[in-house]
Structure 1
Amino acid sequence: MSWQEYVDVQLLSTGNIQRAAIIGQAGGVWASSAGYTLSPQEQQAVLRVFTDPSAAQASGVRLAGKKFFAVQVDDQHLYGKQGAGGCTIVKTTQAVIIGEYDPPTQGPEANLVVEKLGDYLRSVGY
């Protein structure tokens, strides 16, 4: 399966994730949903979340120009909110999965989708 298929099939087709990307921990976007663009600065900020979770807790994270407040963050996950929507960011062995959701999807529904893909990628060494 290509990285784009992971975004399209495992994330977007669930209906619980509206925008998504997979970025490499060494840099670069591996795949993203149509029109979803993370600037190089946003990509670096996402990667820093996992080395300094307290900074993300204090100032949130920007994705494709939108600021999300960190509801929960640690060295493996960030759950963020913006209005009634939010984001789920999960670190794997070599990548970071980013998923954004809009109402009526709730955080736990979106978190489950992104976490499931994260668990799978970790299980196969990615």
Structure 2
Amino acid sequence: MSWQAYVDDQLVATGKITKAAILGKQGGVWAASSGYNLSQAEQDAVVKTAFTQPDQVRANGITLNGFKFMTLRADADEVIGRKGERGVFIIPTNQAILVAEYDAPTSAGEANVVVAKLADYLKSVNY
């Protein structure tokens, strides 16, 4: 399965995720949903800062595709952001980082299950 298929079929097609991307831990966008363009600074914030400097992410929030989320949680396992009706889950795997946004009426719990399930699968196959 291509990386784009993971974004399209395993995340966005569930109806629980509105926008998503898979970033490589060494940098670069492996796949992204249509119109979801993360700037280089936004990619760097996810890849280089989100999991190594969680205090900074908690203090400053995280901006994705030009939209700034308030950080609710930032640790080695997950970054969770929210603003208004929108939210984001950022979950690292062995070689990649999943970024998945959701919007009302989807709840955080519904979105988290979708993203965590894909992250667990990718970890199980060493990605």
Counterparts of 1:55 and 1:91, CA distance in 2: 18
Aligned with 1:46: secondary structure?
helix
Q: 1:63-90 CA deviation, whole Å, 9 max, x = no partner?
A: 0000001111111201110111100100
Counterparts of 1:82 and 1:29, CA distance in 2: 24
Alignment of 1:59-74 (within 5 A): 59-74=60-75
Alignment of 1:101-112 (within 5 A): 101-112=102-113
RMSD: 0.6
Counterparts of 2:44 and 2:109, CA distance in 1: 26
Counterparts of 1:60 and 1:109, CA distance in 2: 22
Stretches of structure 2 that go unaligned for 5 or more consecutive residues are: none
Stretches of structure 1 that go unaligned for 5 or more consecutive residues are: none
- The residue that corresponds to 2:10 in the other structure is 10
Counterparts of 2:76 and 2:56, CA distance in 1: 12
- The residue that corresponds to 1:28 in the other structure is 28
Counterparts of 1:55 and 1:76, CA distance in 2: 16
Aligned with 2:42: secondary structure?
helix
Give the TM-score normalised by structure 1: 0.98
Corresponding pairs, count: 126
Alignment of 1:109-120 (within 5 A): 109-120=110-121
Give the TM-score normalised by structure 2: 0.97
Q: 1:33-82 CA deviation, whole Å, 9 max, x = no partner?
A: 00100001000001211001111111110000000011111112011101
Counterparts of 2:112 and 2:79, CA distance in 1: 10
Counterparts of 1:37 and 1:82, CA distance in 2: 19
- The residue that corresponds to 1:39 in the other structure is 39
